[in-house]
Amino acid sequence: MLTINGTEIEDTFAEAFPMTAARVVVTAETPGWARTAGQTATGYAASVIGCDAEAGIERELAPAETPDGRPGVSLLFFAFSRDALQKALVNRVGQCILTCATTACYNALPVVPDKSVRVGGNLRFFGDGWQISKLLGGRRFWRVPTMDGEFLCEDVFGTTKGVAGGNFLILGITQAVALAAAEAAVEACRRVPGVIMPFPGGIVRSGSKVGSKYKKLRASTNDAYCPTLRGAVTSALSDGVGAVYEVVIDGLDLAAVEEATRVGVRAGCGPGIVRVSAGNYGGKLGPFHLKLHKLLK
């Protein structure tokens, strides 16, 4: 049996799947306004089961790290196709970043022909004919007049094949103990470049299974891990488990998701955490299998 800080690590795997990803850099006059734009643009983007994208703030950026020398944030967006990703980006940048005071928006991935999405090129029409195109270093930008000056947005954004759905489950003796461990796990995951935890605060209380007794639902509560249903269903919970939290990880590549899983699980283990497990569907959902024992030994 593998244990870390007294916590059992179940010999199982998380099952992840490919998605199309983009990295967006948003800058503003102050860190606060950049953060506001990032939080708004990545809202309601927890799961593609019900959202147009999965998204989150990758990290905050110092002025020396941004294209225009202003404070900023790096955002990651994931969708099942390039068309779906473009639609989500245009909507979210248009509604949440264009509208946010003092912001500008830049691409942060290599642009490859036929693997890019047009963002500024679609949003330019908001300028009602007053928009101006600028070509700098082979990159095209659009300057759209706004009431506080202008909104600068890059024309096209690069995409890459990312990995989504990496996960692990923290099983604790009480809700408070499990939540504290999950918070520590997310904090550790956030230090890994190229990943986001798209759910609120990076933590999922409503883990799901595929399908439902109700035909119209694609997913429903993961009853095997619900403490209140112990005894009524075939439970995956041993005696003493009072709460379970899931951490879901999306990344720009498999290595980033693996590293986030590795450091996140280690940070989440400790007193009061009975076991760490992971969610999978027998290998039928996605081609990426993150085996906990292999990653943590």
63-76: pLDDT as tens digits: 999 999 999 999 99
Residue 214 predicted with pLDDT over 90: yes
Output the DSSP codes for the chain.
-EEETTEEE-S-EEEEEEEEEEEEEEE-SSHHHHHHHHHHHTSS-S-TTTSS-EEEEEEEE-GGGSTTSS-EEEEEEEESSHHHHHHHHHHHIIIIITTSTT-EEEE-S---TTSEEESHHHHGGGGTT--EEEEETTEEEEEEEETTEEEEEESEEE-EEEEEEEEEEEEESSHHHHHHHHHHHHHHHTTSTTEE--SGGG-BSS-EEE--SSTT-SEEE-GGG-GGGBTTB---PPTT--EEEEEEEEESSHHHHHHHHHHHHHHH-STTEEEEE---STT-S-SEEEEHHHHH-
Tokens read off for 12: 């199982």
Per-residue pLDDT, 268: 98
What is this structure's pTM?
Answer: 0.96
225-281: pLDDT as tens digits: 999 999 999 999 999 999 999 999 999 999 999 999 999 999 999 999 999 999 998
Per-residue pLDDT, 15: 95
Q: What is the mean pLDDT of residues 268-295?
A: 94
- Per CATH, the architecture of 19-160 is what? 2-Layer Sandwich (3.30)
Per-residue pLDDT, 284: 79
Q: 2-15+163-296 domain in CATH 3.30.70.520?
A: yes
Tokens read off for 125: 């029409």
**What does pLDDT average to over the chain?**
97
Per-residue pLDDT, 60: 98
Per-residue pLDDT, 260: 98
Per-residue pLDDT, 81: 97
Q: What is the mean pLDDT of residues 151-169?
A: 98
165-204: pLDDT as tens digits: 999 999 999 999 999 999 999 999 999 999 999 999 999 9
Q: Which of 191, 182, 177, 204 is nearest to 268 (CA)?
A: 182
Residue 107 predicted with pLDDT over 90: yes
Residue 285 predicted with pLDDT over 90: no
pLDDT band at 283; cut points 50, 70, 90: confident
Boundaries of CATH 3.30.70.520 in the chain? 2-15+163-296, 19-160
11-67: pLDDT as tens digits: 999 999 999 999 999 999 999 999 999 999 999 999 998 999 999 999 999 999 999
Residue 133 predicted with pLDDT over 90: yes
Q: What is the mean pLDDT of residues 139-163?
A: 98
pLDDT band at 282; cut points 50, 70, 90: confident
Per-residue pLDDT, 200: 97
How far apart (Å, rounded) are the C-alpha atoms in residues 38 and 55?
10
